[in-house]
């Protein structure tokens, strides 16, 4: 069990570190399409290499919405869920702390949205409403969990499974970054809010609740493909 805990902690650490450090160090968003591509595919390919290195030990969740989907459909027990969830939160927090130490004194960090917290309304990158962000987060989380669930059940080749899931994660981020800064991961959203202005904590509920709803929907639909 300790190996699994450590794998999830390290995987969550790396994934959150990559997800949040790029927005914290890049201040020139003149070419928004290129910026979103860079961030989305950096995150997606990080998920790919984590699947290839740590996925063998824990199943490569690295995200509470995946772990919840496995719990709902009895593919892991409650004790393992709590262990994974704790590891993912701790890894995410350590990743955010690492970023904060690196960039806290930089001009970019002081002038930016801190650790790129998720938001809606005036705090969304392009001003999307609560309703729009709610629907978007539910759809992207559903698609990601659907892909992960099917790939983990059906793929006889772990290399193909990692690539499919990582590319899906990248595409979902590419869609969601301009709308909500891409939630998709409650652990990441929580730690980003901790290092951001007070509005981020006030809006955090959406980026915890809705991805979990998407997780339940996506994994339930995937269960029809036995």
Tens of pLDDT, residues 140-199: 999 999 999 998 876 555 667 889 999 999 999 999 999 999 999 999 999 999 988 889
Fold of domain 2-222: Glycerol uptake facilitator protein (1.20.1080)
Please report, for residues 32, 33, 69, 102, 128, the alpha-carbon distance to residue 76 in angstroms, rounded to integers and kept in the order given.
40, 39, 9, 37, 37
For residue 223, is it left (φ>0), alpha (ψ between -120 and 50) or beta? alpha
Confidence of residue 114 (pLDDT cuts 50, 70, 90): low
| Predicted structure pTM score | 0.91
Q: How far apart are CA 16 and CA 91, in angstroms?
A: 8
Q: Alpha-carbon distance 86 to 92, whole Å?
A: 10
Per-residue pLDDT of 43-81, as tens digits, reads 999 999 999 999 889 989 999 999 999 999 988 999 999
- Spatial distance between the Cα atoms of 58 and 62, rounded to a whole number of angstroms: 9
């Amino acid at each position: 069990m300790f190996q699994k805990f450590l794998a999830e902690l390290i995987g969550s650490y790396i994934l959150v570190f990559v997800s949040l450090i790029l927005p914290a160090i890049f201040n020139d968003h003149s070419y928004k399409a290129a910026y979103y591509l860079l961030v989305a595919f950096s995150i997606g390919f990080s998920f790919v290499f984590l699947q290839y290195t740590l996925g063998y030990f824990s199943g490569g969740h690295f995200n509470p919405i995946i772990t919840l989907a496995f719990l709902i459909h009895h593919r892991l027990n409650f004790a393992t869920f709590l262990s994974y969830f704790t590891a993912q939160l701790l890894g995410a927090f350590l990743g955010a702390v690492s970023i904060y130490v690196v960039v806290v004194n930089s001009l970019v960090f002081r002038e930016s949205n801190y650790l790129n917290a998720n938001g809606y309304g005036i705090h969304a990158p392009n001003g999307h409403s609560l309703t729009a962000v709610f629907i978007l987060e539910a759809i992207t989380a559903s698609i990601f969990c659907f892909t992960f669930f099917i790939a983990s059940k059906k793929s006889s080749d772990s290399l193909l499974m990692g690539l499919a899931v990582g590319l899906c994660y990248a595409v979902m981020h590419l869609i969601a970054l301009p709308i909500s800064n891409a939630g998709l991961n409650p652990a990441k959203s929580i730690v980003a809010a901790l290092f951001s202005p007070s509005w981020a904590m006030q809006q955090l509920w959406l980026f915890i609740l809705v991805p979990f709803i998407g997780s339940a929907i996506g994994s339930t639909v995937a269960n029809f493909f036995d």
